Chains A and B, each alone.
Chain A
Amino acid sequence: MILSLSQTPLPTKKTVCVRITQEPKSWHNIRKTPQKKMFRVELLANTTTHATPGYTYVADRGQAPAKANTAPALGRKRGINNAGKGGDISSRRANAILRHLAELDRENQRDVSIPIPARPAREAGARVSRTKTSSNVRRILVSQKTFRNHIDDEDAAIAAGGGGLSVPVGAAAVGPVIPSRVKVVAATGLAGPTAATPRRSSTPAAASMTPAGAGVKKKRGSTLATVTMPSTPTPAAAAAPAPAPATTPVPATSEANDAKTEDDGENHRHKILKTEHDSDPLLRSFGPTIPSERIMDRLLSEPALSYHASRVGSPLSTQLPRSFCCMCGYWGKIRCKSCHLRTCGLDCYKVHEDSRCGAFF
């Protein structure tokens, strides 16, 4: 059970996420009266706790985009999600990681304000002569918003239904308003909120990507292939019959394109040496085809993803997490019993215990 408390109308925006869980049924619990329920309250990892000029209303819809990939996977199913990955990550640890990452993201160690140096009057005079400043320019110049403020504003706008911005460019991909127009082909790696948005699938994008269309579309592709794809087979594949009866019709427009560029393709073909092995069925390649002009136009005309949606997802390949000694950087072989940091051996552990182990997380 996850409960999110959003105390929004405060001058400093602060969203507090709290997880309330029932105590696991240990022998200790079972021995008590079963009616009595113990709850455990945990403060969850949260990136949005910071001072902002003004405040924004953020509807908490469970999964905030800002936390989708930065925050370690937490939640109801974390035990399942992290099953094979040594998922011993507690919310305290997650908080510590977030704090550490924020620390590494700083420009300067201390908060300093560096004013714009005053220019000599002569130069300043010269600049005034340029033009009068417009109201837009003045507004932008006095704005002291940081990137964090801007991204929070955008999150709020997206959460409010894509509104708030006159230009819903970045919001398009995540907002529920405009679903992306082309179907995700192999969305295995597409992480974050984009994967969840509904997409229409009526475009020919998927259809032409089936290997069945290989024989038909080869001619069009060959113009492109000669330069960019060393791995493409000889164009003889075009002459070979399609390996399977084509189950999906090729879009009519791409056929037209084929016809148009046929001559072009022929020219290219003459440049490549012809041998009698070209039609050898054993040498035929079953590589996927180059998408048609129309699909590429569709892909190119898509709007940009939002900032959060474009962040890379967690690794596809399952790598075991590595841990390092917090003192010397060697492998972290033993774990401190009070603070869960790792050290490589007794030497480092003793130093850690004496001086560094604060056991504060």
Chain B
Amino acid sequence: MGTSKSRASTKAAKSAPAIPTRLVPEKTFVLDNGAYTMKAGWACDPSVPAEEALSHCATIPNAIVKTRDNRIWTGAQLNTHVTDWNEAVFRRPVEKGFIVNWEAQREIWDQTFFEEKATPRNKQLRIAKPEETTLILTEAPNNLPVLQRNTDEMVMEEWGFGGYARCLGPTLNAWCDVNALFGDPLTRSDAEVSPKDCLLVVDSGYSHTTVTPVYKGQPLQRAIRRLDVGGKLLTNYLKEIVSMRQYNMVDETYIMNEVKEAVCFISNDFIHDMEKTWKANRKREDAQSVVVDYVLPDPNANKKGFMRPHDPLLHAKRKKGALSGLSPEVLSEDVLVLGNERFTVPELLFRPSDIGMQQAGIPDMILQSLSVLPPGLHAALLANVLVVGGNSCIPGFMDRLENDLRAITSSECVVRVRRAEDPFRSAWLGGSRFASNREELGKVVITRQEYQEYGSGWATRRFAGLV
């Protein structure tokens, strides 16, 4: 508790003089193991500002990829080694937010965190001595008991961490300094790090979107709800639409993901935007505000894809070929014209019924979640809605969510919806701050000794709060 924190870069944990009776290792490694990326790094002192703390956190793709030339790349190599993403196929160890395939996950972890030699490059992430490290690992809510048990067994028996805590990813967000986001009075900096009292975390990630009410850093399990629409489904839907209407992009998951990130937005006036993109209205002025062209990447010429305003005459010009005076580069490029695809695709987050899915959209999901909680909590939770996850970065998402939520909640409640400063690494940052509160951490961590004594069944029950 009062002992000085060893910095992340120091080699081994000093044996602190005041160790609690249970031997929880001093150094803490926080790993937010998402389906798309892992967010990982050593926990650092909570007094440093968030930007500096986040420099300790690395984002590593959590996938094994086979590229067109039949080469296989793992984890961090994807950022550096892969240039040609055409027809890349993915193997992801995390399905639906849960670690399912440990064969692949072990390979990625081994390569990222357990390299044999310390190099300057992996210094930040290398776990030299797992037995002297506490691991905080996140999981998605409502995991299957079997998978939880597998996770515990792998962490404790394959790598043998000295201390280990498995907690729900969204709950860690409550440990971030969210008061500043909501404009509430700041907590005193000298006080011990404590979680936000009431927080409703909307986590819209790769595999799904979840709503988790968090009370003093703990989840209210009965009110956790999940919508099976995430970034993956949106990408696949866009891929399918584009493949039907324009080019066959069926095998280009990665490229379509980039297209989605570049062009998609959430409409605040769906009907109006739809009229604007109607093909008979295309040539009008106001259509130009919605319809765009996306130039597909050309790996041979080493060109990346990009978005530009729609040019209605481009097609005609290209038919004329060289006569039109277009440069050869423009003539050779492949262009996707994106109109209503831009907003009908992410609209699924708010109206899943558009593809026949019998699930409610995000604002409705928040209400369904609240409906099983005491009414006394509603106001506090609605006033503190924190949005994290990659989908929250879609332009218009925050406005739409706030408007829709405002419209369906009772008028007495204040509705405040905020996006975390870094929606990707917010849970990691919370975990890092949580780690500094040794007392609270000690309550959830199990040690290696305890695991060896009581076994994995006990560990799983312990994390479920049953022991």
The answer to whether A and B belong to the same complex is yes
Q: What residues of A have a CB within 8 angstroms of the CB of B340 in the complex?
A: 328-330
In the complex, A147→B142 CA distance in Å?
Answer: 13
Identify whether the interface residues of A are mostly helix, strand, loop, or mixed. loop
Interface residues on A, range: 35 or more
B6 CB–A CB distance under 8 Å: no
Interchain nearest-CB distance for A170 vs B (Å)? 5
Q: Residue-by-residue, is A183-196 near B (CB-CB < 8 Å gives 1, otherwise 0)? A: 01111111100000
The answer to whether the Cβ of A103 comes within 8 Å of any Cβ in the partner chain is: yes
Binary flags per residue of A306-321, CB closer than 8 Å to B gives 1, else 0: 1101111111110101
Which B residues touch A230, using CB under 8 A? 383, 414, 416
Write out, one digit per residue, whether chain A residues 120-162 have a CB within 8 A of any chain B CB (1) or not (0): 0011001100010110110011111111001101100000000
Q: Which of A137, A299, A321 contacts B154 (CB 8 A)?
A: A137
Residue of B nearest to A223 (CB): B197
Write out the residue numbers on chain A whose beta carbons fall within 8 Å of the beta carbon of B107. Answer: 116-117
Q: In the bound complex, do residue B145 and residue A165 qualify as a contact, i.e. CB atoms below 8 Å apart?
A: yes
- B42 interface hit (Cβ, 8 Å): no
- Nearest CB of A to B303, in Å: 24
Interface 0/1 of A206-225, CB less than 8 Å to B: 00110000000000010011
Query: How would residues 426 to 467 of chain B score, 1 for a CB under 8 Å from any chain A CB and 0 otherwise?
Result: 000000000000000000000000000000110011001110
Given contacts A112-B66, A301-B465, A328-B279, contact A104 B460 (CB under 8 A): no
> Is B144 interfacial (CB 8 A cutoff)?
yes
Verify if A106 is at the interface (C-beta below 8 Å from B): yes
Q: A272 contacts the other chain (Cβ, under 8 Å)?
A: no
Q: Please indicate the chain B residues that have their CB under 8 angstroms from the CB of A329 in the complex.
A: 241, 245, 277, 339-341, 344
CB pair A109–B253 under 8 Å, yes or no, is: yes
Q: How far is the CA of A150 from the CA of B54 in the complex (A)?
A: 35
- Taking a contact as CB atoms under 8 Å apart, the answer to whether B279 and A104 are in contact is no
Partner of B357, one of A70, A169, A299, A316: A70
B100–A150 CB distance below 8 A: yes
Distance in angstroms between the alpha carbons of A299 and B216 in the assembled complex = 12
Interface string of B150-183 (1 = CB under 8 A from A): 1001100110100000000000000000010000
Which of chain A's residues have a CB closer than 8 A to the CB of B237? 104
Chain A residues contacting B364 (CB-CB under 8 Å) are 312, 315-317
Q: Given A146-B95, A186-B372, A330-B279, are A312 and B356 neighbors across the interface (CB < 8 Å)? A: no
A289 to B222, CA, bound (A): 20
Q: Do A312 and B102 contact each other (CB < 8 Å), given the known contacts A104-B237, A137-B154, A147-B96? A: no
| Chain B CB within 8 A of A97 CB | yes
User: Hey, which chain B residues are within 8 Å of A110, CB to CB?
Assistant: 89, 251
CB distance from B425 to the nearest CB of A (A): 24
Contact B150 A140, beta carbon cutoff 8 Å:
yes
Q: Is there an interface contact between B145 and A170, defined as CB atoms closer than 8 Å?
A: yes
- Check if B368 is an interface residue, CB within 8 A of chain A: yes
A184 neighbours in B (Cβ, 8 Å): 372
Asked, given contacts A107-B92, A187-B371, whether A227 binds B197 with beta carbons under 8 Å apart, the answer is yes
Does B403 reach chain A (CB closer than 8 Å)?
no
Contacts A150-B146, A306-B142 given; does A109 touch B72 at CB 8 Å? no
Is the CB–CB distance between A167 and B149 below 8 Å? yes
Q: Most chain-B CB neighbours within 10 Å: which of A147, A167, A173?
A: A167
Q: A73-B358, A97-B355, A116-B104 are in contact. Are A189 and B96 (CB under 8 A)?
A: no
A168 CB within 8 Å of chain B: yes
B98-124, CB < 8 A from A:
98, 100-104, 106-107, 110, 114, 116
CB <8 Å contact, A141 and B106: yes
Convert B379-414 into 0s and 1s, putting 1 for each residue whose CB lies closer than 8 angstroms to a CB of A: 110011000000000000000000000001000111
Contact of B222 among A107, A180, A330 (CB under 8 A): A180
Q: Are A303 and B464 in contact (CB under 8 A)?
A: yes
Measured CB to CB, the nearest residue on chain B to A113 is B91
Q: Which of B45-53, B225-233, B308-316, B326-334 touches A? A: B225-233
CB contacts under 8 Å to B, within A38-62, are none
Chain A residues in 8 Å Cβ range of B106:
141
B2 within 8 A of A: no
| A9 at interface, CB cutoff 8 A | no
Could you tell me if B354 and A322 are in contact, using CB atoms closer than 8 angstroms? Answer: yes
Provide the residues of chain B in CB contact with A303, threshold 8 Å.
221, 464-466
B365 in contact with A312 (CB, 8 Å):
yes
Which of A15-23, A26-34, A257-265, A290-298 binds B? A290-298
Interface string of B278-292 (1 = CB under 8 A from A): 110000000000000
- Distance to closest chain B CB from A55 (angstroms): 17
> B343-374: contact bitstring with A at CB < 8 Å (1 yes, 0 no)?
01000000101111111110011011101111
- Roughly how many angstroms separate A310 CA and B72 CA in the complex, as a whole number? 36
> A71 to B375, Cβ gap below 8 A?
no
Quick one: given A140-B154, A230-B414, are A316 and B367 in contact (CB under 8 Å)? yes
Task: Name 20 A/B residue pairs within 8 A (Cβ), A-sorted.
Answer: A93-B356, A104-B233, A106-B236, A114-B72, A140-B150, A170-B142, A180-B222, A186-B371, A190-B372, A228-B197, A230-B383, A231-B413, A287-B412, A291-B374, A302-B220, A304-B464, A310-B142, A311-B228, A316-B367, A329-B344
Identify the 9 closest CB pairs spanning chains A and B, nearest first: A189-B368, A97-B356, A288-B375, A126-B116, A147-B95, A189-B371, A114-B91, A310-B142, A315-B360
